[in-house]
Structure 1
Amino acid sequence: MDVDRSIVWLIAILLLSVEAVITAGHTALNHLRRSRLKQLQEAQQPAAHLAADLLDHPDRLHAALYSARALLYAAIAVLVTPALYPELARWLAGVPWLAPASAWLAIVILVLLIGLAVFLFGEWLPMQVGRRYPEPLALALARPLALVRLLFWPAGLLAYGLGSLLRGLIGVEAEEPQPQIEEEIKTLVDAYEEEGVIEEDEKEMIYSIFELGDTLVREVMVPRIDIVAVEAGTPLLEALDIIMQAGHSRIPVYKGTIDNIIGVLYVKDLLPYLKRGETDVPLESIVREPYFIPETKKVDQLLPDLQQRKVHMAIVVDEYGGTAGLVTIEDLLEEIVGEIQDEYDREEPMYQKVGENEFILDARINLDDFAELVGVEIADEGSDTLGGFIYNQLGRVPAVGDTISYDGITITVLSLIGRRIGKVRVVRQEAAPTADEGEPQASRIPPPTKDNSREH
């Protein structure tokens, strides 16, 4: 009897090892970069060609592997359950309050224990190994995986067909696997930076491109309050003076209110009239048609739209149709390459570090940039900027000297521009946060000199 049980355990361990090999190989194959696999193919690695073939036909491979795993689990359960069931059932029967249900309870316990063992040693642990060593394991196990595909593909095809039929009956479409292109590129960029092939700013630029898909237009736009625009009835020469003072090459033109923008005025469109001395031409006849977009549009969608329409500016509208701001191609490019300054830009920097833990910031700074700079992440779904966060916490129009404490930092309003917050001082506390960490508290301190000026 002991010899028979030893054989049973040996076969069960062998089957579990086969499942572990299948899982590790499949995981390694999925984590092997396509770019690296192509290099191995060019180096005439035989296993690389086989690995590429497996990846090129994922449906066949997945169907075969899932069928093989299911059969292996069933075989392990069939072998182990009879070997352990009698003793476990007798032991449970010896417990008075378990005796009435000892038979089926023994089966349930065995199923759970076998499932846990298969998961740990046949799935989870091999997955970790496959992720850790994708290249050597993918190449070493390509042939075993191909053999499994050959042996179990018919059964897998049947299961796959039944699954497709069921999805069709309930109206669920199969989800296509998405290529891990972004992760592959980021991995390569990190490796190249460590090797000194690319600089840190080049790495940040590449990472910024991927972040465009997560960035909304309202996060990068020029807000409504900062828009330089002219009324449609403005004389041509006066409009030209406004444009020259602002240092822009194009500005919006509105009729009545800024919420009714009727076009965009280009400086170069004024030149022919100025050359002919025609200064009484209404702006409405010169402007170009504006391009309106919602503030929730993604930046990576807007950039190709602007290129296709051959325009450099878009008017951003809110959910009520009012003007929320405007965005230019320069604003979008700055998300990739950083701040772009030309001879007309007179803007002060968004932040200045004045001490080890002290910063002077423009309240328009984005909360994501603030978190990266100060090291404190602010969770506020109702605002995109530091100024908006301060407004939300105070619940009123801020005053110079207002102070907010949040998560180990102190934010003090230094200046206002009308009702908008201009500059703030942020001090990061070195002491450990208190029990009220993360709960903002407002207070007042003696205000510094108020600065309502702002250069455009």
Structure 2
Amino acid sequence: EIFMIDASLPTSQIVEEALVSPFTRIPLWRDSPDNIVGVMHAKGMLREVHAHTGDMDALDIDNIATPPWFIPESTTLLDQLNAFRRRREHFALVVDEYGALMGVVTLEDILEEIVGDISDEHDVVPIGVRPQRDGSYLIAGSVTVRDLNRRFGWDLPDQDVATLAGLIIHEAKVIPNVGQIFHFHGFRFEIVRRQRNRITSIRLGKVEAAPNENSAE
């Protein structure tokens, strides 16, 4: 699952979706999700919003975005690491032999594969996880349960599912709607965003004691 935004949407909606997303680099597509036209950096977008004193209609998303960089899925880790260093890039889109989009890869992904998990004072949570002031987390649906358990010391079940979105669907037995809230395994799951049948953003927080374990609101 890749979080992407339709570049043909009104600028205000693009900004709104980017702000909800836990990602800093967001692919933009036009006409078809397979047609990636650029990659927008959230910080660059916010700088432009500030420069235009909040007038989003004055923003040109195409000028904010950088050209997409595509790499074949057959690229080795070492070759990709060297390519990141040469280009001074941190983000690439992975395509198969037919040019179909398969996913994204970041410099951090490569380094973690080579040297293990990277954690410092500026990066204490997995990619796709954004801590909130109330102690909850805004998490992309594609983040793996295993990564969350490993980083935060949680014990969410990951035997039957891989991602957080998969865990919610597995427990709820439905594809939930935006705004629905569930209590599973001592956590509160709120569905923040959904694209078609994919849960793309969840607000997750620990609860002291859910009134009814594995319940929905």
| 1:279 correspondence with 2:75 | no
Describe the shift of the 1:316–1:348 C-alpha distance in structure 2 as closer, same or farther (beyond 3 A).
closer
One-letter identity of the residue aligned with 1:326: V
Describe the shift of the 1:448–1:329 C-alpha distance in structure 2 as closer, same or farther (beyond 3 A).
closer
Deviation of 1:329 after TM superposition, in Å, equals 1.5
| Alignment match of 2:103 (pick from 325, 328, 345) | 325
Residue aligning to 1:154:
none
| Alignment match of 1:305 (pick from 83, 89, 110) | 83
Matches within 5 A, 1:150-189: none
Normalized per residue, the structure richer in helix is 1
Residue aligning to 2:146:
350
Deviation of 1:269 after TM superposition, in Å, equals 2.1
Describe the shift of the 1:450–1:262 C-alpha distance in structure 2 as closer, same or farther (beyond 3 A).
same
One-letter identity of the residue aligned with 1:350: R
Normalized per residue, the structure richer in strand is 2
Residue aligning to 1:290:
68
Describe the shift of the 1:236–1:330 C-alpha distance in structure 2 as closer, same or farther (beyond 3 A).
farther
One-letter identity of the residue aligned with 2:159: I
One-letter identity of the residue aligned with 2:14: A
TM-score normalized by the length of structure 2: 0.57
| 1:230 correspondence with 2:26 | no
Deviation of 1:359 after TM superposition, in Å, equals 6.2
CA–CA distance in 1 between the matches of 2:7 and 2:60?
7
SS at match of 1:262: strand
| 1:266 correspondence with 2:65 | no
Deviation of 1:318 after TM superposition, in Å, equals 1.3
Contact 1:264 1:289 survives alignment (8 Å):
yes
CA–CA distance in 2 between the matches of 1:302 and 1:455?
27
Deviation of 1:270 after TM superposition, in Å, equals 1.9
CA–CA distance in 2 between the matches of 1:338 and 1:451?
33
SS at match of 1:239: helix
| Alignment match of 1:334 (pick from 97, 112, 123) | 112
Describe the shift of the 1:307–1:255 C-alpha distance in structure 2 as closer, same or farther (beyond 3 A).
same
Residue aligning to 1:452:
175
CA–CA distance in 2 between the matches of 1:244 and 1:449?
27
CA–CA distance in 2 between the matches of 1:230 and 1:286?
14
| 1:362 correspondence with 2:161 | yes
Describe the shift of the 1:339–1:272 C-alpha distance in structure 2 as closer, same or farther (beyond 3 A).
closer
What's the % identity of the aligned pairs?
Answer: 28
Describe the shift of the 1:246–1:334 C-alpha distance in structure 2 as closer, same or farther (beyond 3 A).
farther
Cα displacement string for residues 288-329 of structure 1 (whole angstroms, at most 9, x for unaligned residues): 111110111111211121121111110111111121111111
Describe the shift of the 1:293–1:348 C-alpha distance in structure 2 as closer, same or farther (beyond 3 A).
closer
One-letter identity of the residue aligned with 2:94: V
SS at match of 2:92: strand
Describe the shift of the 1:339–1:246 C-alpha distance in structure 2 as closer, same or farther (beyond 3 A).
farther
Contact 1:263 1:290 survives alignment (8 Å):
yes
SS at match of 1:253: strand
Cα displacement string for residues 225-262 of structure 1 (whole angstroms, at most 9, x for unaligned residues): x1111122223332222222121111011111121111
CA–CA distance in 2 between the matches of 1:361 and 1:259?
29
CA–CA distance in 1 between the matches of 2:28 and 2:200?
21
Cα displacement string for residues 337-358 of structure 1 (whole angstroms, at most 9, x for unaligned residues): 2376256163452287xxxxx9
Contact 1:291 1:315 survives alignment (8 Å):
yes
Structure 1: give runs of 5+ residues left out of the alignment.
1-225, 353-357, 365-414, 424-446
One-letter identity of the residue aligned with 1:362: V
CA–CA distance in 2 between the matches of 1:263 and 1:242?
16
Q: Which has the larger radius of gyration?
A: 1
Deviation of 1:282 after TM superposition, in Å, equals 3.1
Contact 1:243 1:250 survives alignment (8 Å):
no
Aligned residues: 148
| 1:246 correspondence with 2:15 | no
Contact 1:313 1:327 survives alignment (8 Å):
yes
CA–CA distance in 1 between the matches of 2:118 and 2:174?
24
TM-score normalized by the length of structure 1: 0.29
Contact 1:231 1:254 survives alignment (8 Å):
yes
Contact 2:73 2:95 survives alignment (8 Å):
yes
Q: Give the aligned CA root-mean-square deviation in angstroms.
A: 3.0
